[in-house]
């Protein structure tokens, strides 16, 4: 676990290089990362159309990104929350504007095991308040299931939640099968909302 203060970070969250000892430190614009890792995590927002739905994304989900997520989510390297959406907070805020932000939920069991909510926390550090108002009905692990069974996993709105704007931004960190995002998208549309999709990283199979 890193030493961590939310206001001023002395070391790069990724590689722990002291931030004030770097050459060109005057170029650092990121509060939490060294130049090298800031560059790695800086990417313009792009769009991909999946099943006729336009989804905003920043990265292709590849090895380095996967290891960052693993460290953050499974090894509970919580201060890495500043490496997920934070480098893209300006683009994110442009997408969101004054719309409600709804997250694709992870299973209750997983969140309880982790003891924190990785997606919500990575948005919170950007000053973005997200709503965890959808719930997954089937909690079993998606990866262990066949394709037909995966499609049976579905979502519902929680019993009470605040009023949402007509247009909502639906956010997830990684889009792999796309199943969860699309199911949540369907659900929000069935409630009369116009949905704008946004993920940090997307599986390369969707980009071919
Ligand atoms: Zn670094």
What pTM, to 2 d.p., does this model score?
0.84
Quick check: is 202 in a domain?
Answer: yes
Condensed to tens digits (0 to 9), the pLDDT of residues 61-87 reads: 999 889 999 999 999 999 888 889 988
Quick check: is 8 in a domain?
Answer: no
Residue 3, pLDDT above cutoff 50:
no
What is the 37 CA–ligand 1 centroid distance (Å)? 5
What is the 40 CA–ligand 1 centroid distance (Å)? 9
What is the 198 CA–ligand 1 centroid distance (Å)? 26
Quick check: is 88 in a domain?
Answer: yes
**What CA–CA distance (Å, rounded) separates 48 from 113?**
33
Quick check: is 7 in a domain?
Answer: no
What is the 35 CA–ligand 1 centroid distance (Å)? 7
Please report which confidence band the pLDDT of residue 21 belongs to, taking 50, 70 and 90 as the band edges: low
Quick check: is 183 in a domain?
Answer: yes
Q: What's the distance, CA 127 to chain centroid?
A: 14
Count Cβ neighbours within 10 Å for each residue of 89-124 and write b for 16 or more, e otherwise: eebbeebbeebbbbbbbbbeebbeeeeebbbbbbbe
What is the 53 CA–ligand 1 centroid distance (Å)? 35
Give the three-state DSSP class for 32.
coil
> Which of 177, 113, 130, 171 lies closest to 151, judged by CA?
177
| CATH code where residue 77 lies | 3.40.50
């Amino acid at each position: 676990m890193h030493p961590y203060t939310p206001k001023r970070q002395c070391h790069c969250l990724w590689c722990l290089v002291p931030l004030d000892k770097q050459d060109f430190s005057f170029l650092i614009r990121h509060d939490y990362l060294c130049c090298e890792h800031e560059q790695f995590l800086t990417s313009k927002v792009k769009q991909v159309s999946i099943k006729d739905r336009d989804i905003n994304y920043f990265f292709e989900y590849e090895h380095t990104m996967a290891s960052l997520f693993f460290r953050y989510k499974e090894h509970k390297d919580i201060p890495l929350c500043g490496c997920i959406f934070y480098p893209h907070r300006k683009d994110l805020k442009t997408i969101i504007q004054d719309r409600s932000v709804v997250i694709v939920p992870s299973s209750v069991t997983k969140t309880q095991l982790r003891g924190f909510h990785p997606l919500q926390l990575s948005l919170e550090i950007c000053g973005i308040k997200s709503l965890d108002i959808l719930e997954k009905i089937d909690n079993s692990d998606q990866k262990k299931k066949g394709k037909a069974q995966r499609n049976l996993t579905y979502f519902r709105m929680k019993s009470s939640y605040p009023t949402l704007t007509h247009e909502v931004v639906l956010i997830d960190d990684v889009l792999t099968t796309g199943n969860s995002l699309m199911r949540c998208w369907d659900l929000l549309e069935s409630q009369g909302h116009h949905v704008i999709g946004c993920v940090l990283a997307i599986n390369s199979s969707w980009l071919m």
